[in-house]
């Protein structure tokens, strides 16, 4: 499937949402020791950041202005020492937060993934693959970025601002007050610009979402566009969106470009104030030149944090929106729940019973109506019927992918909802029509990465159903890597793989989905036929049959029509009925195969 371009993903969250923040904080709690250490380090870092200008002040006032150089060496040494310490502390602190961020990320991904594994199949029916994958990967990453960088950067910078403000007060409260007087207008201007940028940023994202949606649709429907000679008109409409995007960007740029000059201007005003007011104070000797220089140095350091803070803002917005989406999934309740005290199956014989089963996917649109059927241990039953008659639904229900609305399904006379889902499924194996294939080796694909199944058992299973022939002809045999969705296997080979899988897991009950597929070459077809028979023999089996040979081989045929059992019997019995359902199905679907060699 193509990447999903959900407009919801383009939206930004609120920056601060108390409930959301509290919930996010819970993920950090296990690592609170590391966080506290980082905070303590921060205090030292902010303090050390102040040392430089102080040393320069001391060098000027205590030494240079006095015409002395005797203490310049120790001053320099102290300065270098503070630098080394500062970089070491900064490094440790950043490392700590990267560590915390990564741990939080992993915890979150694991929790989300584990939660998804517990969701029922109907949940996956409702949610597109792309969306869930984005939640697992990108949304969690957005949160990590904020934990490891965003929050700390903002905190560090705020602390540095406070430290600088405090230190200036200590050095000379009067000059400090003059500097403070400049702050309110600066803060107001920066906030105003930030707000403007935020609005325009949102507008940019909106236009980008429109561009994506339009482009996505054009690409998906490209044949229609071309056959109807719509290229020019579509380009015109695309251009409207492209221009809208450009214009939002250009307007954003105005506010962005004005930010830096503003900072330059404020910097100049502070320097001017220091020269004028501070200089005046030096003239009446109430201030030293060293302090004056220290002030300029502090003010030079003042703007950097401001800028950093405003830059991290949108990252936090994105993370909050991601958090909301992730929690949305975590809050979805499980639909199919294991019983509190599950019963266990011992020595499974493999009896299956559908007892007055009613089932609908939606509301009361019954797919199965009052279906009752017993399959004795070791018996094989084929279910036939038109598309939509409810055949595959029956197998999905037996695996408890969905719960029935009325009636019961029993395995060895135990209702399946009294068993743990995993235990039930270990005894009920399914051979899927278009089997799911990992991008992994053949061996791992047969045992589904279940390490409790030995390589020998994998090989024995493949031999049993006759898949060893094609596997051994592959370049690396059982170690051959399969491409995405098994693209390097033919349909027939994939079905053999699915059969080998069933044989390797060796369940007592097997459900075989054997519906119509695209052409499979006659040789492979014959191998599959034998494989299916092999898998079905000595097991209780239900087969959704397409191949006539398979139907003929079963003990009993159940004809399903409109969700009801219409007929039951052997092939010959059913065919003998004049105008029976099976007779007609046979005429439609199977007769053509009759001439084919068995």
Partner 1 sequence: MASRVVTPERITDTGPRHKNPLIKYVLRYKWHYAGGFAALVFASVLSMLPPLVLKIAIDDLTAGTTVSRLAALGGIVIAIALVESAIRFGGRLLVSSRARWIEYHLRDDLARQFLRLDRSFYLRSRTGDLMARATNDLNWIRDFMGPTVNDIWFTVVMLTVGLTFLFSIDVRLTLLSIVYFPFVAGVVIYLETTLEDKFRLVQEQFGHLTNRAQENVSGIRAIKAYAQEESEVESWAADNRELMRRALSFGRWVSGFFPMMILATGIGTALVIWFGGRDVVAGDITLGQFVQFNVILRMLASQLTVLGWVVSAWQQFIASLGRINEILREEPDIDEPAEPRVLDTIRGDVAFEGVTFEHDGRTVLDRLDLRIAAGSTVAIVGETGAGKTTMVDLLTRVFDPWEGRVTVDGVDVRELSLQRLRDAIGVVPQEAFLFSESLHENISFGRVDPPADDVDEALKTSQLSNDLEQLGGGLDTLIGERGVTLSGGQKQRATLARALLKRPPILVLDDSLSHVDTNTEEEILRRLRVFMAERTTLVIAHRSSTLAAADRIVVLEDGAIAEDGTHEELLAADGRYAGYYRRQLLREQAAAEERELAVEDQGQSGTAAGDRADEEGAQS
318 binds partner 1 (CB under 8 A): no
289 binds partner 1 (CB under 8 A): yes
Of 8, 49, 4, 13, nearest to 323 by C-alpha is 13
57 binds partner 1 (CB under 8 A): no
| Residue 22 vs 283, nearer CB to partner 1 | 283
| Residue 5 vs 17, nearer CB to partner 1 | 5
| Residue 20 vs 506, nearer CB to partner 1 | 506
In Å, how far from its chain's centre is CA 289?
59
| Residue 22 vs 74, nearer CB to partner 1 | 74
Q: Tokens for 594, please give them.
A: 């009759």
513 binds partner 1 (CB under 8 A): yes
Of 13, 263, 318, 33, nearest to 150 by C-alpha is 318
| Residue 21 vs 43, nearer CB to partner 1 | 43
Pairing of strands 556-561, 564-569: antiparallel
Which of 25, 170, 188, 222 forms a contact with partner 1 (CB under 8 A)?
222
582 binds partner 1 (CB under 8 A): no
Which of 154, 168, 186, 430 forms a contact with partner 1 (CB under 8 A)?
430
458 binds partner 1 (CB under 8 A): no
Contact (Cβ atoms closer than 8 angstroms) between residue 89 and residue 48: yes
562 binds partner 1 (CB under 8 A): yes
Which of 235, 374, 483, 596 forms a contact with partner 1 (CB under 8 A)?
235
What gap in Å lies between CA 239 and CA 242, rounded to an integer? 5
5 binds partner 1 (CB under 8 A): yes
257 binds partner 1 (CB under 8 A): yes
436 binds partner 1 (CB under 8 A): yes
179 binds partner 1 (CB under 8 A): no
583 binds partner 1 (CB under 8 A): no
Segment 82 to 141, residues that bind partner 1, using CB under 8 A: 83-84, 86-88, 90-91, 94-95, 98-99, 102-103, 105-106, 109-110, 113-114, 116-118, 121, 124-125, 129, 132-133, 136-137, 141
242 binds partner 1 (CB under 8 A): yes
What gap in Å lies between CA 200 and CA 110, rounded to an integer? 36
280 binds partner 1 (CB under 8 A): yes
Which residues, 6 or more positions from 315, have their beta carbon under 8 angstroms from its beta carbon? 142, 145, 146, 149, 150
346 binds partner 1 (CB under 8 A): no
- Residues 217-235: b if buried by 16+ CB within 10 A, e if exposed: ebeeeeeebeeeeeeeebe
Pairing of strands 509-513, 540-544: parallel
Q: Dihedral of CA 29/33/37/43: which sign?
A: positive
Q: Tokens for 571, please give them.
A: 């092939």
Which of 21, 272, 330, 596 forms a contact with partner 1 (CB under 8 A)?
272
Number of CB atoms found within 10 A of residue 137's CB: 11
260 binds partner 1 (CB under 8 A): yes
215 binds partner 1 (CB under 8 A): yes
Which of 11, 145, 182, 386 forms a contact with partner 1 (CB under 8 A)?
386
Which of 67, 184, 475, 597 forms a contact with partner 1 (CB under 8 A)?
67
DSSP string, 2-59: PPP--GGGGPPPPS--HHHHHHHHHHHGGGHHHHHHHHHHHHHHHHHHTHHHHHHHHI
225 binds partner 1 (CB under 8 A): yes
Window contacting partner 1 (CB under 8 A); options: 29-37, 71-79, 157-165, 174-182: 71-79
Which helix H or strand E contains 435, and what residues bound it? none
Which of 515, 525, 534, 568 forms a contact with partner 1 (CB under 8 A)?
515
388 binds partner 1 (CB under 8 A): yes
Contact (Cβ atoms closer than 8 angstroms) between residue 393 and residue 544: no
């Amino acid at each position: 499937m193509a990447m999903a371009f959900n407009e919801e993903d383009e939206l930004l969250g609120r920056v601060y949402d108390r409930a959301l923040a509290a919930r996010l904080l819970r993920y950090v709690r296990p690592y609170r020791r590391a966080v506290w250490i980082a905070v303590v380090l921060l205090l030292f870092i902010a303090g050390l950041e102040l040392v430089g200008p102080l040393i320069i002040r001391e060098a000027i006032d205590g030494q240079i202005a006095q015409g002395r150089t005797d203490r310049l060496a120790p001053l320099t040494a102290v300065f270098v020492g503070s630098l080394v310490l500062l970089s070491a502390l900064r490094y440790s602190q950043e490392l700590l937060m990267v560590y915390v961020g990564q741990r939080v990320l992993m915890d979150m991904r694991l929790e989300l993934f584990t939660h998804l594994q517990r969701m029922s199949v109907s949940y996956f029916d409702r949610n597109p693959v792309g969306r869930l994958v984005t939640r697992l990967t990108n949304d969690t990453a957005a949160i990590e970025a904020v934990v490891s960088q965003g929050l700390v950067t903002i905190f560090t910078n705020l602390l540095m601002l406070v430290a600088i403000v405090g230190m200036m007060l200590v050095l000379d409260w009067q000059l400090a007050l003059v500097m403070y007087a400049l702050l309110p207008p600066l803060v107001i201007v920066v906030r105003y610009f930030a707000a403007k940028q935020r609005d325009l940023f949102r507008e940019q994202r909106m236009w980008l979402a429109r561009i994506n949606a339009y482009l996505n649709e054009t690409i998906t429907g490209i044949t229609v566009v071309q056959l109807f000679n719509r290229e020019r008109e579509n380009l015109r409409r695309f251009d409207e969106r492209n221009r809208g995007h450009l214009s939002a960007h250009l307007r954003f740029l105005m506010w962005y470009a004005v930010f830096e000059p503003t900072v330059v201007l404020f910097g100049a005003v502070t320097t001017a104030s220091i020269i004028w007011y501070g200089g005046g104070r030096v003239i009446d000797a109430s201030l030293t030149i060293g302090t004056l220089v220290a002030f300029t140095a502090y003010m030079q350091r003042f703007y950097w944090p401001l800028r950093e803070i405003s830059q991290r803002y949108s990252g936090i917005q994105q993370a909050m929106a991601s958090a909301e989406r992730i929690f949305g999934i975590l809050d979805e309740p499980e639909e199919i729940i294991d019983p509190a005290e599950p019963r266990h199956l011992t020595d499974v014989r493999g009896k299956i019973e559908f007892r007055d089963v009613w089932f609908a996917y939606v509301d009361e649109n019954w797919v199965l109506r009052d279906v009752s059927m017993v399959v004795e241990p070791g018996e094989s039953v084929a279910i036939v019927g038109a598309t939509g008659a409810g055949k595959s639904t029956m197998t999905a229900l037996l695996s408890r992918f969905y719960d029935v609305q009325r009636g019961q399904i029993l395995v060895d006379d135990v209702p399946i909802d009294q068993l743990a889902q995993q235990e039930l499924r270990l005894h009920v194996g399914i051979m899927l029509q278009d089997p799911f294939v990992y991008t992994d080796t053949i061996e791992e694909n047969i045992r589904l990465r279940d390490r409790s199944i030995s390589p020998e058992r994998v090989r024995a299973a493949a031999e049993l159903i006759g898949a060893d022939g094609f596997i051994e002809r592959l370049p690396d045999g059982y170690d051959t890597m399969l491409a995405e969705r098994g693209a390097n296997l033919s349909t027939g080979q994939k079905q053999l793989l699915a059969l080998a899988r069933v044989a390797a897991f060796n369940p007592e009950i097997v459900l075989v989905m054997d519906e119509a597929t695209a052409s499979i070459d006659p040789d492979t077809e014959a191998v599959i036929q034998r494989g299916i028979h092999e898998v079905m023999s000595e097991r209780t089996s239900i087969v959704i049959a397409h191949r006539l040979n398979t139907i003929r081989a079963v003990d009993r045929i159940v004809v399903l029509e409109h969700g009801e059992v219409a007929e039951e019997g052997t092939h010959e019995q059913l065919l003998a009925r004049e105008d029976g359902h099976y007779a007609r199905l046979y005429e439609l679907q199977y007769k053509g195969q009759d001439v084919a060699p068995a």
